[in-house]
Structure 1
Amino acid sequence: MTAQKLQELVEEISKVHFNKSFSHTARFNPRLRTTGGRYLLVSHDIEINPKYLEEHGLDEVIGIIKHELCHYHLHLEGKGYKHRDKDFRELLEEVKAPRFCTPLVSSKTERKTYSYKCTACSMQFIRKKRMNTLRYVCGKCGGKIKHSN
């Protein structure tokens, strides 16, 4: 989907579901990592994560656009546009927009773990963070610890 098609889609959704025009810019932002889209308070633009279109399809992107348009229209009207506000929650329900987007499959990366072993008693230690083996000893026997693969 091109930037022009995205702009047209946002304008159409705004007219059909909100009966209001969208007069700012909608664009893809590939730098978004943890969210499907965002509404920018200062410029009133909407940014959409293109990875959601690739992984989940157009229906998910339409839901994200509806969600961001709720922020947009409520903010311009001076009403509660934040997630916790009553106005926002009511408008989400009215236009059937999702409160949260589906998590990306590609963003779920397995975290690396580090394995250590005591040289004296062979006790195994699994850690999420790297540790300096010269500063620590085995808690079971007091032996030296070495990194094991």
Structure 2
Amino acid sequence: MSNQELQALVEQVSLKDFHRPFVHQARFNGRLRTTGGRFHLPDENLDFNLRLFDAADSQVQLGIIKHELCHYHLYRAHRGYRHRDADFKHLLAAVGGLRYGAAPGAD
């Protein structure tokens, strides 16, 4: 999957499952090793673990995207966007996002 394909997929999932547009950048970050994705507070962009995405099936990929989009949309709505916040836990369950990603290379 290319960065352009990732961007299109994130935009599509955002509209379908969150009913809001994703208006920032989504890209792969080869330096990510222990997490499926990351939400950047300063610029509101999303980074994803290329190695994990290559090894994961489409359901895991969608779960990771939904997880990061929960952070993104809650932050933009000035609601609890952190893992410990009730808003985050509720939205993650409602959209079917993954709480924890599969470890890269795990069988």
TM-score above 0.5:
yes
Matched, 1:90 2:76: no
Deviation at 1:81, TM superposition (A): 0.2
Matched, 1:15 2:38: no
Q: Which runs of 5+ in 1 are unaligned?
A: 107-149
Deviation at 1:97, TM superposition (A): 0.6
Structure 1 stretch displaced more, 20-29 or 59-68: 59-68
Alignment map for 1:118-129 (pairs within 5 Å): none
User: Normalized against structure 1, the TM-score is what?
Assistant: 0.69
In structure 1, how many angstroms separate the alpha carbons of the residues matched to 2:58 and 2:41? 25
In structure 2, how many angstroms separate the alpha carbons of the residues matched to 1:49 and 1:104? 9
In structure 2, how many angstroms separate the alpha carbons of the residues matched to 1:11 and 1:53? 17
How far does the alpha carbon of each residue in 1:30-65 deviate from its partner, in whole angstroms, 9 at most, with x for none? 100110100000100000001112211222111110
In structure 1, how many angstroms separate the alpha carbons of the residues matched to 2:61 and 2:51? 10
Matched, 1:103 2:100: no
Letter aligned with residue 85 of structure 1: D
More strand by share: 1
In structure 2, how many angstroms separate the alpha carbons of the residues matched to 1:48 and 1:36? 6
Identity of aligned residues (%): 45
How far does the alpha carbon of each residue in 1:82-139 deviate from its partner, in whole angstroms, 9 at most, with x for none? 0000000000010011111111226xxxxxxxxxxxxxxxxxxxxxxxxxxxxxxxxx
User: Normalized against structure 2, the TM-score is what?
Assistant: 0.95
- Is the CA contact 1:14–1:69 (under 8 Å) kept in the aligned structure 2? yes
In structure 2, how many angstroms separate the alpha carbons of the residues matched to 1:61 and 1:43? 23
Pair member with larger Rg: 1
In structure 1, how many angstroms separate the alpha carbons of the residues matched to 2:61 and 2:43? 21
More helix by share: 2
Q: Which runs of 5+ in 2 are unaligned?
A: none
Aligned residues: 106
- Runs of 4+ with >6 A deviation: none
Letter aligned with residue 53 of structure 1: F
The equivalent residue for 1:146 is none
In structure 2, how many angstroms separate the alpha carbons of the residues matched to 1:60 and 1:30? 18
RMSD between superposed Cα atoms in Å: 1.0
RCO higher in structure (CA 8 A, sep ≥6): 2
